[in-house]
Amino acid sequence: MPSQNVLHIKLEYEESISAKRGILSTEMHVLNLAKRIVRYRNLRLQEHKLRSRAYSKMKEVKANIRKLENTLPTPRIPRILKRHEQKEKEEREETKTSKNKEKKLNQPADIESQLQCTAIVSKLFLQLHLTLTLTLAYITIILQSLNTVTRIHIMVISMFPKPLKQ
């Protein structure tokens, strides 16, 4: 074994106590940091599990929506309404051509046709309302599952100490 140059430094009692305290506090901080890293890793694994579960739930919801669309009957438009729509299309074409030829603006519409149009529009709005309520229910389920993931992420961030300002 080669000879080593040993250097001795004389410390005061108070200096040695403060140095030992510094070393012990550094060790304590390292141990706390190791614990936090382990907790962080566990929370990340838990987050991954929750995300994969949310993804599978979203797939199930999508499949259920497709099943509902396939099983629910498609609305049939009565012949009267179909005829009315055809008449409206013809009227629109006629008004377009008459506007171009005669340059007449703001022709009054027939009150009966307006009432029938409002009936059709109200039926469409009802169907749209039902679809939107189903979609909103599924979205709330998805958001609730994502909310738990966000809470876990916030807990992880709050576990780490804030950096010291220099």
User: Is residue 53 a contact partner of residue 159, using CB atoms and an 8 Å limit?
Assistant: no
Q: Are residues 118 and 36 in the same domain?
A: yes
Q: Are residues 35 and 100 in the same domain?
A: no
Q: Which amino acid is at 16?
A: S
pTM of the complete model: 0.36
Q: Any idea what the Cα angle at residue 79 is, between residues 73 and 81, rounded to 5°?
A: 90
Q: Are residues 27 and 100 in the same domain?
A: no
Q: How many domains does the chain have?
A: 2
Q: Are residues 96 and 119 in the same domain?
A: no
User: Is residue 126 a contact partner of residue 132, using CB atoms and an 8 Å limit?
Assistant: no
What confidence tens digit (pLDDT) does each residue in 11-62 have? 788 888 888 898 998 999 999 899 999 999 999 999 999 999 999 999 999 9
Q: Are residues 93 and 21 in the same domain?
A: no
User: In a 3-state reduction of DSSP, which class is residue 109?
Assistant: coil
